[in-house]
A and B are shown apart, each in its own frame.
Chain A
């Protein structure tokens, strides 16, 4: 219960800028999985995020939309500190992850720890040059899970969750490269799910896929969200409208508006959002 209380307090904190179209009419606010507070980010001297604050609701899909270069992927990639692979990056602010309230971008927090807690799926499917089974098991091995029956059980569970089990169960030892693009992407989702992440990041996961494979993944997200909190970046507005409960609209490194998807698409509080979702710019 304390979590709920915390969530509501910080939501009211954020009543100022950026605009929160707080859904007062709908059900009580859900629990918060992560809250972003005044997050700033620099590539070298270039500031890519100018103080972003938003909540990530537990076991809901939150979508980040905005024109190219608005910083939506940059924001997503802060959540698992993948930026740290490249020299010259700097964070300021907080991303507090429930339940321990670890600040993911704090200097003292090791990026490896962050990545053990947060899973990620990338724009282009990137299966490892190994078998299907080994791909899904990779994250388990990293966490020291080596017990054969446990690994097998969790690999199967993850593959079922990612709705690909029936397609691959007879060829788990075949190279992952042999799968189609859509299957590879679902395999990558299974790979991210196997270690049971507290948060799943999806960086335009369907942009390299055909419409049928895209539909499958959207369907999959619907069922996944019962167990996992999902944060997705997409340039496809219709996709955001279809799959997400909450949406954040970003522009030039700023969070312009955050709110329930329905509200944001039908009755946005900011003109800029309206222009974007109705296709007048972007």
Chain B
């Protein structure tokens, strides 16, 4: 009886809060379902808009991706990404990564997880992976639904480029994968910011709003051309670099630079989150 027993039977720190469990915890939440619903419905909304408003474009000579929306399913998917990448896709990332820890703190369930005990780094890791996974799922969901809806409405065909020329459906699908991949990587900085804020506050809205707000500030700063080359280090500067993949010859340098900036910020922010949370007094 006097031997040291450190853990209860069957307890292993590395098995706590498995990803599957965290996924179930998050997946059944209303905000997850609503977010998924919005992204799944958006293509239908655009479809109806084009049906009511007629063919897009034609008002000026500027040719944009928007003007080719109804050319094919691939075009429709690209347009859906185009209208969403700037802001709409920031929301799920900020939500899934910003709300994840803060909401547990708000519900007080965080302290029971920590006392279970789920090691703090392990808890953050599971939450981060699931948060990023849900974000990626949101980004995949939108173009996939759009591709299906668009193909049904406008046919399965090559991706007509606004600058002329077209990409055959196979190539177009690859490019859309690249686009989604880049949008995801470029949003890592938002994810990092939201996640870090999430470990700092008990108010989920504060973390989500803070991340979205700072993303908007980044956009505003990027519009200040006086900043010159310093803007290269703003993640917002590269937010449309994925458009380089929707050109006859894909251009990689913008996406590489954007990914470098985003990954850098994200690494530091994630590290800050893990460091701060490891020693934090959890009083909520």
Q: Do A and B bind each other?
A: no
Residues of B within 8 A of A (CB): none
